[in-house]
Structure formats: structure tokens, C-alpha cells
Amino acid sequence: MTDLILQSLYSGVLMGGAYALVALGLALVFGAMRVINLAHGELVLLAAYIAYSFESRLGINPVFAIPLAIPVVCAAAAAAYYLVSRIRQDRELNSLILTYGLGIILTNAVLLVWSADVRSTNSPWLQDSVSIGSVISMRSEVLSFGISVVLMGVLWWWLSCSWYGRAVRAISSNRDAAKLMGINPGRIELVTFLVAGVLASCAGVSIYASSAIQPSIGEALTVKAFIITVLAGVGSIPGVLLGAMLLGIAEALTVTLYSSAMQELTGMVLFLLVLYVLPNGLFGVARRRG
């Protein structure tokens, strides 16, 4: 029983790394613009299907599809920003409705192009097992976790040290004051959407490399990303990783100790519990970044 619990904890941590990679883009846009992009999960899904096409047609490891997925997903993210930026009244509510509609359009586009069949990687290298003591995982899961941690570090540096990163933080804190300092909010918000598109591309390829995909998972990915963003606290990059790992561990333990049918419910219960006890998220306002 101890080994089973240990395996569940390990699997939950790795799953949390994948969730964090999905949530990073949504958290960045939410922190900068106070806009919840409900099409973010579909952008991740689009990158996953590009990786599938890359592997199935060329027979190359799907990880190398990231440079191909980035321009396509970033173009879709830029189109989403253009539509959101046209909203002049009740931006928060109307952007929810708009991006939800965009998510439905993207899901149906994926259905038309790739059908509703379940897809997964055929790469033996990614599917090989990796043992660390008594726990086992696929190599793709470890790779996905590593990519997630690296991208979080890069994003943290970008927000803390680069001019554009500081501009994103300024827009997030006080949009009007940022204008007085010569910052163009529209340009910075577009950059934010493009960076979120890059993160979604890496997340989609990682998800395809480590699990099965189908068009219906886009909405589920958006919901998980939103839960993690709220758990973390608006704009908290370390909080995203911690919240994602908590969600992954909670789901893994639920599947192991109770039933897989309760997996999604566990995430919602954790979300409501943290929202009730810590309304500002796990890291609170004082540790925000972005």
C-alpha cells in the first residue's frame, strides 16, 4: 500500500507539471488584462494536433514539432486578442462570452480537420519507462515536467528583468499610470497574448507526447488552467506550479484510493476550499508577478 501511495504522489507531481504548463498562458493573460481566455485550452489542443500531424506524416519525434506549432498557435492567439481588444464596454464579461465562442469554433475546426478519433504518440523513446527507486513513469512525463519548470523560470525572468515583462506588470498594476509612463497598453497586451501562445504550443506538444488527445479535452484543459490560476493567486508564477501539483496529487490520490469517476470533482472541491480559506490564492497579493 505504501508503494502504491508513493507511486500516486509521484504521478501526481508529474501530472501537476503538465497542468502548470497549460495554466501558465492563461495566468499570464489573466494577470495582465484581467481577461479569462476561455479559448486557451483549445489553443493547447491545436498545438497537440499539430504535433500529431508532424509525427504521423514525417515519422519524427513530436517534440520537434514545437517550432512548427508556435507560429500557428500564436497567429490564433493574435486573432483572439484582436477580437477581445475591440470590446469597449464590460470587457471582463463580454470577453468571457467571446473567447468561449472562439473555443467552440476551434474545437469544431479540429473535428473537421482531424476527426474525433483519439490520438496518441507512437514514439518508443517517449513511451519508454523511467524508474526512480520504486516509482515508474514514462520518459515523456518526466520531459514534460522538466519543460514546465524551465519555462516557468524563463517566464519569471522575463517578467522580472525584461522591459516588456516590467511593462506587463505595470499594465497589470495600473493601466492609466502605465500610459502616463509612455507604455502602449495595446502593444503590451498583444505581446502577452503571443507569449501565452508560445506557452500553449509547448503545453500542447507535451500533452500529446505524454497522453492521449481528442477534441473534447480543450474545454477540460481550460477549466483546469482556471482552477490553477485561482489557486495560485493572480499572476503568481511559483503559485501556478504549487497549485498545479496540488491539483495533480489530489486527482492521483482520488483515483488510487477511491474512484476515477471522482477525479474531476476532486479538483472542483480543492478549488472551492482554497477560494474559501485563501481568497487571494496560495501566494496572495504580496507575492504576485505579472
CA 226 to CA 220: how far, in whole Å? 10
Residues 50-81 have pLDDT tens digits of 999 999 988 888 999 999 999 999 999 999 99
Give me the pLDDT at residue 1, please: 67
Residue type present at position 143:
L
Backbone angles phi, psi at 244, to 5 degrees: -65, -40
CA 82 to CA 93: how far, in whole Å? 16
* Positions in the chain short of pLDDT 70: 1, 233-235, 280-290
Rounded to two decimals, what is the model's pTM?
Answer: 0.89
Give me the pLDDT at residue 134, please: 79
Give me the pLDDT at residue 102, please: 93
- What Rg do the C-alpha atoms of the chain give, in angstroms? 19
CA 12 to CA 15: how far, in whole Å? 5
Give me the pLDDT at residue 286, please: 47
User: CATH number for the domain including 224?
Assistant: 1.10.3470
Structural domain for 51, as ranges? 2-287
CA 278 to CA 49: how far, in whole Å? 37
Give me the pLDDT at residue 196, please: 93
